[in-house]
């Protein structure tokens, strides 16, 4: 009798506890078993974000390689007169031809004139200096001699000054100008041309702060034992000159890129 009463009392307690738990679950709007799940489920740790990929190092932009072409004379200054030909027209024609070749090879070109315009020597130097030119070619023509004559400023080499004197600024660049002349000379000789090198005083060149060379072309041939002289305005001759100069300036650009 006692055993039965004890068992009945234990069952009543279990049922009452279950009913109470069910009531609490229903009042909270939860599903049966969720309390146990919430009590026993382990806390989830936040997943760390993957490390950001390192940004590539930003390299400083290489200075732009600019060539300045300076067609001598122009406007009221016709330069030399060779029969019906004027030097100002010959120099402009070669400048335009060379500019096209260089641009086609990806070289930036600045010209001191694109038409029959007067440009004073000081302005020519200003254009080259403002462009931060890596090379400047002052183009001239003559009937004297044959082949090509190239000149570098006759100023003595000097160390660069903080503020360059206007009419002697090229003195700090003479060494580089001689190096440019050497590269152009090699290209012209490889093209089979006669080349004469020299030094001269030229006001526009003397005020430039870049490697600068005066390039003067004369008729090809005409010497003893050679074929008759080629006219200065001969398209094939000018094309040959432009191709050789373009090759030399490309070689100069490659040299400038070397550390």
Instruction: Give me the mean pLDDT over the 50-79 stretch.
Output: 77
The pLDDT confidence band at residue 52, using thresholds 50, 70 and 90, is low
Q: Is residue 11 part of a domain?
A: no
Q: Is residue 197 part of a domain?
A: yes
Query: Where does residue 195 fall: left (phi above 0), alpha (psi -120 to 50 degrees), or beta otherwise?
Result: beta
pLDDT at position 116 is: 96
pLDDT tens digits for 118-163? Answer: 999 999 999 999 999 999 999 999 999 999 999 999 999 988 766 6
Q: Is residue 121 part of a domain?
A: yes
Q: Is residue 98 part of a domain?
A: yes
Average pLDDT of the chain to the nearest whole number: 82
| Counted domains in the chain | 1
Q: Is residue 155 part of a domain?
A: yes
CATH number at residue 143: 3.40.630.40
Domain residues for 127?
A: 66-257
Q: Is residue 131 part of a domain?
A: yes
Which string of DSSP letters, residue by residue, matches 202-215? Answer: -HHHHT-SS-EEEE
Q: Is residue 25 part of a domain?
A: no
In 105-167, which residue ranges form alpha helices assigned H by DSSP? 121-130
Q: Is residue 94 part of a domain?
A: yes
- Interatomic CA distance for residues 251 and 253, integer angstroms: 5
């Amino acid at each position: 009798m006692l055993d039965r009463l004890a068992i009945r009392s234990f069952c009543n307690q279990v049922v009452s506890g279950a009913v109470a738990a069910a009531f609490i679950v229903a009042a909270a709007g939860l599903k049966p078993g969720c309390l146990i799940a919430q009590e026993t489920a382990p806390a989830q740790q936040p997943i760390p974000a993957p490390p950001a990929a390192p940004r590539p190092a930003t390299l400083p932009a290489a200075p732009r390689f600019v060539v300045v072409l300076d067609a001598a004379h122009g406007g009221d200054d016709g330069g030399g007169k060779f029969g019906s030909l004027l030097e100002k027209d010959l120099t402009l024609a070669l400048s335009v031809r060379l500019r096209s070749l260089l641009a086609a090879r990806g070289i930036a070109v600045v010209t001191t004139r694109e038409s029959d315009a007067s440009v004073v020597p000081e302005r020519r130097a200003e254009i080259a200096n403002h462009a931060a030119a890596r090379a400047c070619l002052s183009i001239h023509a003559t009937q004297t001699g044959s082949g090509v004559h190239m000149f570098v400023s006759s100023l003595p080499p000097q160390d660069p000054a903080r503020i360059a004197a206007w009419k002697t600024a090229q003195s700090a660049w003479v060494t580089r100008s001689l190096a440019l002349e050497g590269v152009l000379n090699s290209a012209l000789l490889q093209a089979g041309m006669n080349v004469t090198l020299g030094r001269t005083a030229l006001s526009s060149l003397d005020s430039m702060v870049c490697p600068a060379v005066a390039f003067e072309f004369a008729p090809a041939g005409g010497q003893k034992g050679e074929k008759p002289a080629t006219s200065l305005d001969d398209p094939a001759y000018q094309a040959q000159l432009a191709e050789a100069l373009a090759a030399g300036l490309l070689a100069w650009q490659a040299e400038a890129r070397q550390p």
